[in-house]
Amino acid sequence: MKLNFYASLVLICGLQYSSCAKAIEADSLSQKLQVQVNAIGAKTYTVANAAELNALTLAPGDKVVMKVGEWKSQLINFKAKGTAENPITLVAETKGQVVLTGNSNLKIDGEWLVVDGLSFKNGFSLKDDVVIFTKNTSNSRLTNTSIENYNPNDKTVDYKWVSLYGKRNRVDHCSISGKTHQGTTLVVWLDDKPNYHQIDHNYFGPRPDLENNGGETIRIGTSTYSMNDSYTTVENNIFDKCNGEIEIISIKSGYNRILNNLFYECAGTVTFRHGNNSEVSNNYFIGNNLTNTGGVRIIGENQKVHGNYLYKISGRTLRSAISVMNAYQNPALNDYWQVKNADIQNNIIVSSKEAFVLGAGKDDKRIVAPNGVTITNNYVINPNALLVSQDEPKNLKIENNQLDGGTLITGFVKMGNDLQLSDGIWQKKTALKKPFWLNTVVGPDWKKDNRSFIFK
């Protein structure tokens, strides 16, 4: 009888080897881990390395706690499926004190997953991007995490620090600073369907000029999918001296919103590079007269530039406060497309070299002027040049703008008393607000950087 029982067990495991092996592996693992079970049956696992974490089979509501310490060259694959009511979380035992070094990276793969409180530093990735939300990932989140100076010795090596695939994922309250090698810092990757990602309350720290293409801090899309819509929102972030290339944020898709961010002393612009129907509104561009600081560069159709504050922008032409570009006659997907129906209103431009440039970049290829540019209800104070026309747009409308400290032209009147200084910023008296970085947590709550942003 005993012999028959064991013979049957061997037969079952022989037919279902992988299931038995996985069960034995899980039993062995559970003996090593600290496992707690709460009232609804969700488990909390405490792990000490990637092998322990990667071997877990997680259920909705489960929590994985990473032990404090250095995690050197750990390849973490956080793969699971939570639910909206019961997400699965991966957290540092103490936020900021789980330090991923060497050649560590993180893959987030699944649904309703949350990663919270990690720190990447003193290392670099060997081949993959540092943090990847996979194509199958949705409704997942990276929060309270830092990636700092995670650079290879060879500055020509190209990998991204954060790659956002999938749908409805979020990166928030992170500190991402010090990228010195080739490749965009954070990329939103598109396919043929919108992805609705959210990037908010992050601190993007200094990045030196690469002196070539590929040094954006954020890119939303690619040329290949540039006529597809993303619906990504970038909101309440700080971009501090992000100088990688001319495009701080490169919008290469449709229906994106860049809202209420601070661009502090960045040698570049927010650029509508490809795609249509996006919006750049209520942002603060503080140039402090530093070389090549820029504002907003417009390409494509139905782009909106509303309510931004642009202060001492020193850039000219393509890097002016607001630059409206010329286009190619028969553009390929990666070329410059004609500006149509650009809507520029309610911006405040203070002490900048060139407030508006029309037909920017005109040359022997960029010969198609904008068509349908509206510039209304803007305020301009002490410009070096109010309006520079490198080409003549069709259907240009300039009206109800106010100017102080310059020569009036058609569409501008002498400034009245609509504005007042509040928190060091010229604002409409009827719409005063405190700049978000003065009363909102930006970056990880465990990381105190003592940042200050001075209007010089």
Distance separating alpha carbons of residues 148 and 205, to the nearest angstrom: 9
The pLDDT value given to residue 173: 98
How many CA within 13 A on the CB side of residue 176?
28
At residue 406, the pLDDT reads 92
How far, in Å, CA of 415 to CA of 80, rounded? 59
Number of Cβ within 10 Å of residue 417's Cβ equals 6
The CB density around residue 410, as the number of other CB atoms within 10 Å, is 8
pLDDT of residue 450: 80
Question: What stretch of H or E contains 18?
Answer: helix 17-32
Backbone angles phi, psi at 345, to 5 degrees: -150, 155
pTM: 0.92
What DSSP line would sit under 45-83, residue for residue?
EEESSHHHHHT----TT-EEEEPSEEEET-EEEEEEE--
Identity of the amino acid at 116: D
Can you tell me whether residue 230 is helix, strand or coil? coil
Question: Cα–Cα distances in Å, from 131 out to 125, 147, 185, 344, 428?
Answer: 10, 9, 11, 36, 41
What number of CA atoms fall less than 13 Å from residue 51's CA on the CB side? 5
Q: Which domains does the chain show, CATH number per domain?
A: 151-438 (2.160.20.10)
Q: How far apart are CA 324 and CA 394, in angstroms?
A: 13
Give the Å distances, CA to CA, from 209 to 217, 262, 268.
Answer: 11, 19, 10
C-alpha span between 280 and 242 (Å, rounded): 18
Cα 284 to Cα 311: distance, rounded to the nearest angstrom: 8
Please classify residue 325 by burial: count the beta carbons closer than 10 Å to its beta carbon, then call 0-12 exposed, 13-18 middle and 19+ buried.
buried
CA angle 255, 308, 447 (to 5 degrees): 85
pLDDT computed for residue 39 by the predictor: 52
Q: For residue 213, what pLDDT is reported?
A: 87
299: closest CA among 213, 221, 359, 346?
A: 359
What pLDDT, in 10s, does the model give residues 390-446?
A: 999 999 999 999 999 999 999 999 999 999 999 999 999 999 999 999 999 999 999
What pLDDT was estimated at residue 451?
87
Task: State the 10-residue block means of pLDDT for the chain, 456 residues long.
Answer: 34 37 46 68 96 97 98 98 98 98 98 98 93 98 98 95 98 98 97 96 96 93 94 98 97 98 98 98 98 98 98 98 97 95 98 98 97 98 98 98 97 98 97 95 92 92
- CA-angle at 298, arms to 294 and 302, nearest 5°: 145
Distance CA(233)–CA(195), nearest Å, equals 10
Question: What pLDDT, on a 0 to 100 scale, did the predictor assign at position 2?
Answer: 36
258 neighbors 251 (Cβ within 8 angstroms) = yes
What pLDDT, on a 0 to 100 scale, did the predictor assign at position 149? Answer: 97
Q: Residue 9's pLDDT is what? A: 31
- 215: closest CA among 241, 238, 233? 241
